[in-house]
Amino acid sequence: MTNIRSYEERVKNFSWKISEDELDYKPGNIINIGWYCSDRICNMGKADKMALLWENAMGVEKKYTYNDVRLASNTIGQFLRSLGIDAGERVCIFLDRIPELYLGFLGILKIGAIAQPLFSAFGEESLFVRLNNAETKAIITQRKHVGKVRKLIDRMPYLKHIIIVDHDGKKALQEREVVFSLEEAAPVEHFEIYPSTAETPSVLHYTSGTTGQPKGVKHVHYSLISQYLTSKWVLDLQEDDIYWCTADPGWVTGTSYGIIGPFSNGVTQCVLEAGFSAEAWYNFIEKYRITMWYSAPTAIRSLMKAGDELIKKFDLSCLRYLASVGEPLNAEAVIWSERVFGKPFYDTFWQTETGSMMICNYPGMKLKPGSMGKPFPGITAAIVNSKTYEPITEPGIIGLIAFVPDWPALMRTYWKNEETFKNKFKNGWYLAGDRAKLDSEGYFWFVGRDDDVINTGGHLVSPFEVESALLEHEAVAESAVVSKPDEINMEVVKAFVTLKTGFEANSDTELQIMNFIRKKLSPLAMPQEIEFIDKLPKTRSGKIMRRILHAKEWGQEIGDTSTLEDD
């Protein structure tokens, strides 16, 4: 029996009160995600149940029961409090997927501070703009990443504490650095958890837009109501499941469904802290007998590329249910997984801003490979006209994906950017910024982004951010950044660059620029191809016509070029 039972029945009889009741929450009560993900599960008699099974690339294993998670998050919370960190202050987690990331996240929430997870592969500039925007008070990091923080410290007077979780004492600490060792700290049994309420801020995730700097998406503790129930009904998390979410908590999937969802449901979850390798992934599934696997199209397509023969070397019969997120899952991938694993991947659609799943495929509901599925019960979704914002009910007509903004996990604002936040709402709808169409049975079909943001491997990259960084390279005169199709990542970053006099357009220059962006922003933002051109297409008023370059990459019609200079 699946948790959702009948999708249609759930839609008919839905209320978020179902989730509130299951969590024993009543409006006005204290609601702290840190407590719900650890103490509450212990109070339910599951203190000795395994919560987190962790392994790294070198084969080192660590295991934590729910009581261990409770104690560790208390201990980290107490340490943060001892540094003078108060409720509402931002604490950045800048860690690889080590246990301290997961446990620290809950510890931050337990003191009422705001967790700001950032992808540890971010380069200095990407790190700086996000810490600067949030005026982050403390950052939890590890030895290998502290160098990036040190280079920025003079520009960040608000950053009072740099907490290093794996300091080995070989090198002296520098200004503002402190050491915290979870293994050496005395476990804190009794801890006064901050009495957060529904609208108390919890998590600040950064996401990229077409223009301007990355936006800090503010979520609140009440988001738990959505995250708990969607984990239960969409991922079908059950008592005996061994769950693996492959996402990094530097991104929203890794927190909503890599920490909050499974832990609030009291499920055992696994984490593999290693780079991608098809063999290592299959081995991990077999070794830990993973039953529920939540991954991403990029990873699934990489597994497809690794071939079917490899799969035969492993016993993957433990897999019970598979789901995917991050970008549209192509029909071929769904069909492939059904063939090789005996189970399809069920696609889910949601965003950093929505905080929880919005349009999904559900266990028991007819699966249409390549479709986004249908709205989660309680979510009112529509395709709306891009000019009038009126719903389009006719099947096959492309419009904007829109939601009535009334679910618990919806972002509360963009940090210090209320104007952009307000612009996300039109005619009573929250606009996702994506285009889709409906079919005659009410299934949603993804068409594409409604802006220039590049979705590479499920991660959003702002062309503006990359163009700005490119201009800081000594050889670059002008640049335009667009997406180009990619078999594995759906799309990747491509830069068109004009060079300053004295610089040669050759592959050495290309490599230099690639590495410059990789270190400054991130590997995701690094152009996978740089094309040197003499002149960028511009309007007569001098604006770069990115649209023309994009169309060329995707083999599309260039469209109206009447405003193009030199035409």
Partner 1 sequence: MEEMKDVVLQYVIDEYLEDPDEEITYNTPLISGGIVDSFSMVSLKRFLENKYKISIPDDKATPEAFDSVNKIVSLLNEFLK
Of 91-110, binders to partner 1 (CB under 8 A) are 96
- Which of residues 39 and 125 has its CB atom nearest to partner 1 in the complex? 125
Dist. CA 537–CA 459, nearest whole Å: 27
Binding flag, residue 121, partner 1 (CB under 8 A): yes
Q: What is the CA radius of gyration of the chain?
A: 23
Cα 77 to Cα 191: distance, rounded to the nearest angstrom: 8
DSSP code per residue over 425-467: EETTEEEEEEEEEE-TTS-EEEEEESSS-EEETTEEE-HHHHH
What does the block give as tokens for 455? Answer: 């979705």
To partner 1, the closest distance from the beta carbon of 511 in angstroms equals 5
Choosing from 137, 148, 520, 550, the residue that interacts with partner 1 (CB under 8 A) is 148
156 close to 134: Cβ distance less than 8 angstroms: no
Q: Nearest 5°: phi and psi at 65?
A: -80, 175
Cα–Cα distance, 499 to 471 (Å, whole number): 10
Q: How many residues bind partner 1 (CB under 8 A)?
A: 36
Task: List the one residue from 170, 175, 557, 560 that touches partner 1 (CB under 8 A).
Answer: 170
Nearest to 481 by CA among 527, 444, 516, 418: 527
Nearest to 321 by CA among 234, 429, 216: 234
Provide, rounded to whole angstroms, the least separation between the CB of residue 43 and partner 1.
37
Q: Per CB under 8 A, which region of 98-106, 218-226, 231-239, 505-513 contacts partner 1?
A: 505-513
Complex with partner 1: residue 279 or 315, whichever CB lies closer: 279
Selected range binding partner 1 among 278-286, 328-336, 494-502, 543-551, rule: CB under 8 A: 278-286
Q: For partner 1, which residue of 78, 263, 510, 550 counts as binding (CB under 8 A)?
A: 510
The nearest distance, CB 89 to partner 1, in angstroms, is 27
Exactly one of 13, 86, 155, 276 binds partner 1 (CB under 8 A); which one? 276
To partner 1, the closest distance from the beta carbon of 263 in angstroms equals 24
Residue with smaller CB distance to partner 1, 231 or 489? 489
Nearest to 527 by CA among 539, 541, 503, 511: 511
How crowded is residue 38: how many other Cβ atoms within 10 Å of its Cβ?
A: 30
Q: Which span sits near partner 1 by CB under 8 A: 85-93, 274-282, 362-370, 406-414? A: 274-282
DSSP output for 12-47:
HT--THHHHHHTT--TTS---HHHHTTHHHIIIIIT
CB 289 within 8 A of CB 270: no
Among 44, 331, 471, 511, binds partner 1 (CB under 8 A): 511
In the complex, minimum distance from the CB of residue 170 to partner 1, in angstroms, rounded to a whole number: 7
The interface mask with partner 1, positions 38-57, x = CB under 8 A, is -------------------x
- Per CB under 8 A, which region of 75-83, 150-158, 429-437, 517-525 contacts partner 1? 517-525
Task: Identify the residue among 11, 152, 280, 404 touching partner 1 (CB under 8 A).
Answer: 280
Residue 508 CB, nearest distance to partner 1 (Å)?
6
Tokens of 483: 């997406």
Say if CB 233 and CB 9 are below 8 A apart: no
Q: Does 313 bind partner 1 (CB under 8 A)?
A: no
145 is a contact residue toward partner 1 (CB under 8 A): yes
Q: Is 287 in the site for partner 1 (CB under 8 A)?
A: no
Rule CB under 8 A: is residue 453 a binding residue for partner 1?
no
User: Which of residues 39, 68, 241, 273 is near partner 1 by CB under 8 A?
Assistant: 273
Q: Is 544 in the site for partner 1 (CB under 8 A)?
A: no
**Residue 484 in contact with partner 1, rule: CB under 8 A:** no
SS (H, E, C) 242-307: EEEECCCCCCHHHHHHHHHHHHHCCCEEEEEECCCCHHHHHHHHHHHCCCEEEECHHHHHHHHHHC
What is the rounded CA–CA span in Å between residue 75 and residue 81? Answer: 10
Select from 100, 110, 98, 38 the least CA-distant residue to 68. Answer: 38
CB-based burial label for 314 (10 Å; 0-12, 13-18, 19+): middle
Shortest distance in whole angstroms from residue 205 CB to partner 1? 20
Residue 514 in contact with partner 1, rule: CB under 8 A: yes
CB of 122 to partner 1, least distance (A): 11
Choosing from 200, 202, 269, 302, the residue that interacts with partner 1 (CB under 8 A) is 302
Amino acid letter, residue 414: Y
333 lies in the binding site for partner 1 (CB under 8 A): no
Tokens of 318: 């433990």
Is 523 a binding residue for partner 1 by CB under 8 A? The answer is: yes
Q: Which of 127, 156, 52 has its CA nearest to residue 117?
A: 127
* CA distance linking residue 562 with residue 539, whole number of Å: 9
Contact 491, 484 (CB under 8 A): yes
Q: Verify binding: residue 528, partner 1, rule CB under 8 A.
A: yes
Residues that bind partner 1 (CB under 8 A): 57-58, 96, 121, 143-145, 147-148, 170-171, 273-280, 302, 305, 456-457, 488, 492, 507-508, 510-511, 514-515, 518, 523-524, 526, 528
